[in-house]
Structure 1
Amino acid sequence: MLAMSDIYCIKHLRNNKGLSITKIEKTLGINWRTAKKYADQDHLPKKKNNKKKGMLYEEKWGEIISDWLAEDRNLKRKLRRTKKQLFLGLKELGFKGSYRTVCYFISDWMNTHHDESISGYERLEHPPGEAHVDFGFMEAVHDGELIDIHALVMSFPFSNAAFAVPLPAENQECLLYGLKQLFKQAGGVPESIRIDNLTPAVKKTRTKLEEAQLTDEFLQFQSHYGFDVQICNPRCGHEKGHVENKVGYIRYNFFSTAPIMESFDDLATKLALQLLAVKVGRKQDLP
């Protein structure tokens, strides 16, 4: 059976170009009867309707999880529920299936419900020496109280390496100090750094007509260390998706429960050791 694109090509040559069946046969290199069948008859292949089976397709569970996935589409990516959270939500409602079954269903749902907001993007290339930088919000325990932690994370998509330093805020002083600490952890300065429109670094957001403008202090910092800067387009987190994933990885693996910290330097040392341990397969929560 011919592919749909081939059938439309035959009909186009016959109806729009006025070619004879013999000419279509020679042009496309197909059998004369085949050319005749699809050129002059209203004949289109019927799509097979392979009805899927299983409790997620035949019972209420698939409809429930589909509603949750549709709801999460309206949230920022970092606020959407993970597959594990969706699975646990079903279990609370009495679902008896496995986590793997839920993962398969979610993947199938994603493949058939494309997010139009991310369609049309070209694949991004990340050469060696390119780093992505972003802040991530977390929590820790200090003197018996929960405090906010703003972890500055730097990742290298080409090598999949990541470094992080916890900071008390996301102001300019913390950003520049954090970058210096990240350079020390990485053992050098990246050739280029990709950031989003961070207020401490960008004083004017990119528009369709003009480029984003860096703050004077960040320009001086950039000039001193000699790296290039790439600024993502507004609301285009996928352009630095690697560091977004690393922020989530650090949050859910090392801050799943708020760690106890004596100081920011103490927490920075613990986090650096844990990220180093990941490279040799010894990941664990911060103490």
Structure 2
Amino acid sequence: FKSVIDEWLYEDKKARRKQRHTAKRIYDRLKDPKEGIRGFDCSYRTVAGYVAVKRKEIFGKEKSAYIPLRHIPGEAQVDFGESDFYLNSQLFSGKHLNLSFPHSNQGYVQLFKGENQQCLFEGLLAIFTHIGGVPSRLWFDNTSTIVTKILKNGGRNLTDDFLRFMEHYRFEAAFCNAHSGHEKGNVEGKVGYHRRNLLVPVPRIENLQDFNQELLSRCDADAQREHYRKDAAINELYQEDCKALLPLP
């Protein structure tokens, strides 16, 4: 199976650094009944060991780190990430909207051609509808699509459209300090996780709306894994988040 893994890793040289295969994504693809290899019976540890060596050979040594944060159930964080995709054979340098619940580490993602206000609202609405509620508090960056001015006392002047959106869905908006996106570290990590595990290889899409609906279902399925720190599955912890959601208007 090494030749297949090598082919995928060399193909990654054409992709964004943050949109390349992880060992887990390679293992999942090899096992996949649709695109996997018949007779594949290697363990994840075996695949991860080979990928680690081969990646150093192809890309050199890369390091990454993140800061875990703790939040009460029902709070969520929001951020956009960069990701390429093909739509009807045309390549787009797109954006994916990520919403994550730090308490459970459950996350959802939607893919767009940009990150303007319409994309933000459409993505949040799709996620709210899918999960059947609204997070009580949402953390954002100080993006110009939301914030028009940061005040000296730490307050924010918000755009009229965002104020109407926030008041309609009744959530509280919180903002990181300027140039301090790491303060919402859970979604910062989720941006990369979604790109590596749901958007690799670079997606080839015929209908973006249908693909986004598929992404929501794949996010639900992904929650069956164990939480990276807590002794429970993500979907079990997520039930506490669901109980704290505001009802849809």
Structures share a fold, TM > 0.5? yes
Whole-Å Cα distance in 2 between the matches of residues 223 and 136 of structure 1? 26
Q: Cα offset for 1:185? A: 1.9
Is 2:140 the partner of 1:195? yes
2:111 alignment partner in structure 1: 166
CA deviation string 1:159-212 (max 9, x = no partner): 1111111122211111112111111122200100000112211111x3654422
1:257 alignment partner in structure 2: 201
1:226 alignment partner in structure 2: 170
Q: Cα offset for 1:90? A: 3.9
Is 2:123 the partner of 1:157? no
What TM-score results when the alignment is normalised by the length of structure 2? 0.63
Whole-Å Cα distance in 1 between the matches of residues 182 and 53 of structure 2? 25
Asked whether the equivalents of residues 99 and 108 of structure 2 are also in contact (C-alpha less than 8 Å), the reply is: yes
Is 2:222 the partner of 1:278? yes
CA deviation string 1:54-77 (max 9, x = no partner): xxxxxxxxxxxxxxxxxxxxxxxx
Is 2:211 the partner of 1:267? yes
Q: Cα offset for 1:124? A: 4.9
Using a 3 Å threshold, how does the CA distance of structure 1 residues 124 and 162 change in structure 2: closer, same or farther? closer
What secondary structure, in the 3-state scheme, does the structure 1 residue paired with 2:71 have?
coil
Asked whether the equivalents of residues 163 and 185 of structure 1 are also in contact (C-alpha less than 8 Å), the reply is: no
2:92 alignment partner in structure 1: 147
Is 2:152 the partner of 1:212? no
State the one-letter code of the partner of 1:172. Q
Whole-Å Cα distance in 2 between the matches of residues 174 and 90 of structure 1? 37
Aligned residues: 181
State the one-letter code of the partner of 2:174. Q
Describe how 1:41-56 pairs up with structure 2 within 5 A. none
Whole-Å Cα distance in 2 between the matches of residues 89 and 166 of structure 1? 27
In our comparison, the structure showing a higher alpha carbon Rg is 1
Asked whether the equivalents of residues 69 and 102 of structure 2 are also in contact (C-alpha less than 8 Å), the reply is: no
CA deviation string 1:63-102 (max 9, x = no partner): xxxxxxxxxxxxxxx79xx999986564359x9xxxxxx8
What secondary structure, in the 3-state scheme, does the structure 2 residue paired with 1:174 have?
helix
What TM-score results when the alignment is normalised by the length of structure 1? 0.55
1:181 alignment partner in structure 2: 126
**Structure 1 residue ranges without an equivalent (≥5):** 1-77, 96-101, 111-117, 282-287
1:132 to 61, 73, 77: 77
CA deviation string 1:111-149 (max 9, x = no partner): xxxxxxx9xx9x854111100001111111122221132
Q: Cα offset for 1:259? A: 1.1
Q: Cα offset for 1:229? A: 0.6
Root mean square deviation, CA, Å: 3.3
Using a 3 Å threshold, how does the CA distance of structure 1 residues 199 and 259 change in structure 2: closer, same or farther? same
Q: Cα offset for 1:274? A: 1.7
Structure having greater relative contact order (Cα 8 Å, sep ≥ 6)? 2
State the one-letter code of the partner of 1:223. E
State the one-letter code of the partner of 1:203. T
CA deviation string 1:4-56 (max 9, x = no partner): xxxxxxxxxxxxxxxxxxxxxxxxxxxxxxxxxxxxxxxxxxxxxxxxxxxxx
What secondary structure, in the 3-state scheme, does the structure 2 residue paired with 1:194 have?
strand
What secondary structure, in the 3-state scheme, does the structure 2 residue paired with 1:148 have?
strand
Describe how 1:68-79 pairs up with structure 2 within 5 A. none
Structure 1 segments, 4+ long, off by >6 Å, are 82-86
